[in-house]
Amino acid sequence: MKAIVYTRYGPPDVLQCKEVATPTPADDQVLIKVCAASVNPLDWHFMRGEPLFIRLMTGLRTPKHTVLGSDIAGRIEAVGANVKLLQPGDEVFGGLGVGGFAEYACATENQLSLKPANLSFEEAAAVPIAAVTALQGLRDKGQIKPGSKVLVYGASGGVGTFAIQIAKSFGAEVTAVSSAGKLETARSLGADYVIDYAQKDFTRSGLHYDLILGANAYHSIFDYRRALSPGGICVIVGGNASFLGMLEGMLLGPLLSLIGHKKSSSFMANMNSKDLDFLKHLLEAGKVVPVLDRRYPFSELAEAIRYLEEGHARGKVVIAFEHSTSA
């Protein structure tokens, strides 16, 4: 099979299309013919091995896993002996961890859900990491409730576009912070209020929020806390500039949460079929719609990652395989 591989850290030029062995699913796995994938900030951080502490996970000198790619959508080709819920021919979507930028990939049942019937493979591939991150940040870490005043910082990116819609599905009032050219996207997704970050610093506006989801950690945890209501929660999640911000949140968040009545935290999403099923229902009901910025063919994956690194994507960047078809 064809796969995009990298054997050393560096810019997108280190990525190469090669013929590699098709993986064999373990007893608890399925083999998926990948029809579409999407690119995440995690991919280019892994590709570059930056920040350096990330190499504790990926390999100190060279990558441990040579095929990147987490978000995929495709058809099941074969199942392991212990797989109970899925069968060959099922159309699925999910998050693998690594290995998605290839014609075939393996995953466990708990990393997958049946593809929403109303979505194309490309649309479904845009969902897993970004939408699960937004859902868990709002619901699990942020304790969102009907009527909550929620601010989404980085509202035009992958996590942010899902966060606006998921927050509205919970009955929240949503303020979206983004660049001027992307405010209309936020409005179209249901944001009640929009803020151009170049014109107004929401952390010094005097307004306060029950929940702030920092989808790009360009502000310090102290800035975010300034804009919280008493009892409010700040959650720092994934994004282009978030690793240091997430590290700050992980180290300082628990300590600051002990002081006063404001809480702070950061986390990495936990991919699981239960949350994918929850999102599937929202997607099929039309309450959440993936926002696709650009589509690239599999052969131009390096260009897709290069574009995402620039930080200007509006929603998700997806990769289409030659054998992909729409729903």
Q: Domain coordinates of the chain in residue numbers?
A: 2-127+290-320, 129-266
pTM: 0.93
CB < 8 Å & 24+ apart, contacts of 295-300:
295/122, 295/319, 295/320, 296/320, 297/322, 298/2, 298/4, 298/17, 298/101, 298/322, 299/17
pLDDT for 34 beyond 60: yes
| Domain 2-127+290-320: CATH architecture, name and number where available | Alpha-Beta Complex (3.90)
pLDDT for 256 beyond 90: no
pLDDT for 60 beyond 70: yes
pLDDT for 73 beyond 80: yes
Greatest CA separation found in the chain? Answer: 59
- 74 bridge partner residues: 34, 92
Q: CATH for 129-266, among 3.50.50.60, 3.40.50.720, 3.40.50.300, 1.10.645.10?
A: 3.40.50.720
- 58 bridge partner residues: none
The single-letter code of the amino acid at 207 is L
pLDDT at 97 (0 to 100): 86
